[in-house]
Structure 1
């Protein structure tokens, strides 16, 4: 018996459906005016109604918050900072941090999985020059590189979500580094949100610039520390190989 002829591959425009979904989400958010709601002024005006809703429907409010954060991450909608602050305002430091980490990790995971589909092949071609330069080093120490991507704020969050997928990262490593790597930044801005009620009561605005300036040195330090295994392998390859073989 002869093997059946292989089915023709789908055309590129059809295989890029994840890209259309993301673009559609962005367009829908813009058409509905959602960007206008992601602001400090909206939170100031709606603080009483939001807190009343949380008091009456805590579980539903947490689930809705996680869903909104997931969607915001997947569709790469600008304004995640304000949602993070809102999480602290509504659920406190601990509750807001946990909910934000869950929502951001879920959204990042969906983007990672989308980048593993045919969309990843398209992105890989677009970013082939940069990806080829860092692929070998990345694959030698993927966890270190992914932690550095999360700690150092120079790399946009959507890029840090997609790039590991096209560089061949394992999802388990990606999920761990995402959930743990975003915690410092999430705590910083959730803390701002947790104290926002008192800030509003004084008629003031939170000093976000100061928060970012204080966070930046610590984030860079964490990024440098996370890259130490990469530097060790680069400058002491024989010792690194001996340690890995002994392990």
Structure 2
């Protein structure tokens, strides 16, 4: 029997299969909840729902401020971690209930924590295996993976700063290319600050919007005063990638 390597748990054995399913259970639950929530919770996590319940929310905040913060953070983290509809409304609610400050801090904390939770679930479930397969297979996907790893910090920050990348995709893509947790966490918290600041500011002015029976203009993020600084930050984030490409060409 010398020279025979026996792994502690063979993935083809019942123990290995059970372990594999346990690792994938969190992301499978998230996907199932996200699918159900997209149909059943769309109306409950909408701006209209926030407008209907604004008096109750403000009364609860005034009577139990600390509990209001805890419940808000928990709800926002769950929305992001489970990929439920309503993340933008939650950001507006943070500004409406707690003002620009500390509302923007609560929004960034909750959104970043939820993003890390779904990233870890995806990486543990399928991401790690997918990353190994891509690296082993090579080809275009392997080259893309290598490029992303080489420019990990800049690429992750770009995905957060550019509004064209949906938030939930920016949480999942890094998990499937083998991104490390630390760069993902840091770039997530830093990269969502500008957008969170804008939407929290809009939320802090919802009192007047509610009084007029109107809806907030969420397209404000695409106006030049907001979009141009975001693009400027994106250019700065892309600068290290451009410099590396120039050095390689030389």
> Are positions 1:11 and 2:17 aligned together?
yes
Shift in Å at residue 212 of structure 1? 3.4
Number of residues of Structure 1 aligned to a counterpart in Structure 2: 238
- Residues in 1 aligned to 2:145 and 2:36: alpha-carbon distance in whole angstroms: 35
> Are positions 1:64 and 2:66 aligned together?
no
- Residues in 1 aligned to 2:212 and 2:30: alpha-carbon distance in whole angstroms: 40
2:233 to 204, 222, 247: 222
Residue by residue over 1:32-64, the C-alpha shift from the partner in whole angstroms, topping out at 9 and shown as x without a partner, is x32212222222221111100011111111111
Give the conservation status (yes or no) of the 8 Å contact 1:116–1:166.
Answer: yes
- Residues in 2 aligned to 1:123 and 1:190: alpha-carbon distance in whole angstroms: 36
Give the conservation status (yes or no) of the 8 Å contact 2:94–2:107.
Answer: yes
The aligned counterpart of 1:145 is 155
TM-score, normalising length: structure 2: 0.84
TM-score, normalising length: structure 1: 0.85
Structure 2 residue runs without a partner (length 5+): none
Give the conservation status (yes or no) of the 8 Å contact 1:18–1:119.
Answer: no
Which aligned segments of 4 or more residues in structure 1 are displaced greater than 6 angstroms? 1-4
- Residues in 1 aligned to 2:24 and 2:200: alpha-carbon distance in whole angstroms: 36
Residue by residue over 1:97-136, the C-alpha shift from the partner in whole angstroms, topping out at 9 and shown as x without a partner, is 111111111111112212331421465469x877424222
Give the conservation status (yes or no) of the 8 Å contact 2:37–2:85.
Answer: no
Shift in Å at residue 211 of structure 1? 3.8
The aligned counterpart of 1:88 is 95
Give the conservation status (yes or no) of the 8 Å contact 1:131–1:167.
Answer: no
The aligned counterpart of 2:181 is 171
